[in-house]
């Protein structure tokens, strides 16, 4: 994110804290898509991601007076979303019988339309393998990989989201990439 974006977000949070509820709409317009994309990759379900994103903005509103302008809004927002996703994962672990079925990552893009049917099938198989491998990563590694790779966050920002050290983030990212390589060995062959 750019410095202008950061300053704009801080200004919107100040307006929200002062009672301008429309500032939340502007934050939601700016951050809904990146947040849903992150949560979809994290939870492997677009429906769950949309629910968690909505709850994230509810928490932003509830805690608007606690936001400190010295911290980056995006880091604060993604920390809230990450905590909600962790709570959801714990809940799913305790209530597996209440789930109707496993949702997949079918919302992610498929191969280009101008590819031959064989190329498209191979590309779709690779995408499915990557989706499956990412969803099998331990939660902390999956969070680091997604925040770094898809959202371009620095190690310092990810450390604040995960409430850990930059070294821990670096190690988790290294391990996540290594584990992904191992899981995808057969699909990465040309």
Instruction: Indicate whether 111 belongs to any domain.
Output: no
Instruction: Indicate whether 109 belongs to any domain.
Output: no
- Residue 184: partners with Cβ closer than 8 Å, 6 or more residues away: 129, 130, 133
| pLDDT at site 18 | 94
| pLDDT at site 95 | 56
* One domain, residues 59 and 120: no
Instruction: Indicate whether 105 belongs to any domain.
Output: no
| pLDDT at site 113 | 57
Instruction: Indicate whether 38 belongs to any domain.
Output: yes
State the number of CA atoms in the 13 A half-sphere of 57 facing the CB. 22
* Burial label, 143 (beta-carbon count in 10 A; 0-12, 13-18, 19+): buried
User: Whose structure tokens read 């060995």?
Assistant: 185
Domain of 33, in residue numbers: 1-96
Positions in the chain short of pLDDT 50 = 97-111
| pLDDT at site 33 | 95
Distance CA 105, CA 92 (A): 17
CATH (domain of 57) = 1.10.1740.10
| pLDDT at site 13 | 94
Contact 110/45 with Cβ under 8 angstroms? no
Write the DSSP string, 109-177.
--S-TTS-HHHHHHHHHHHHHHHHHHHHS-HHHHHHHHHHHTT---HHHHHHHHTS-HHHHHHHHHHHH
Instruction: Indicate whether 175 belongs to any domain.
Output: yes
* One domain, residues 175 and 135: yes
Torsional sign, CA 126, 127, 133, 137:
positive
CATH (domain of 170) = 1.10.10.10
Tens-digit pLDDT profile for residues 146-180 = 888 888 888 998 988 888 899 999 999 999 888 88
How open is the CA angle 74-127-104, to the nearest 5 degrees? Answer: 70
* One domain, residues 178 and 120: yes
């Amino acid at each position: 994110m750019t410095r202008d974006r950061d300053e704009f977000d801080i200004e919107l949070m100040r307006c929200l804290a002062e009672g301008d509820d429309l500032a939340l709409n502007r934050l939601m317009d700016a951050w809904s898509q990146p947040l849903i994309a992150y949560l979809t990759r994290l939870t492997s379900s677009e429906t769950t991601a949309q629910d968690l994103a909505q709850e994230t903005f509810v928490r932003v509103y509830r805690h608007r007076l606690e936001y400190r302008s010295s911290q980056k809004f995006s880091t604060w927002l993604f920390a809230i979303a990450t905590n909600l996703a962790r709570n959801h994962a714990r809940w799913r672990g305790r209530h597996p019988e209440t789930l109707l079925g496993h949702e997949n990552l079918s919302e992610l893009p498929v191969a280009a339309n101008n590819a031959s049917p064989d190329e498209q099938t191979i590309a779709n198989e690779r995408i499915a393998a990557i989706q499956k491998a990412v969803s099998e990563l331990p939660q902390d590694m999956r969070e680091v990989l997604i925040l770094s790779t898809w959202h371009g966050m620095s190690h310092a920002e990810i450390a604040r989201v995960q409430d850990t050290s930059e070294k821990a983030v670096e190690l988790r990212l290294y391990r996540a990439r290594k584990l992904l390589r191992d899981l995808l060995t057969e699909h990465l062959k040309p």
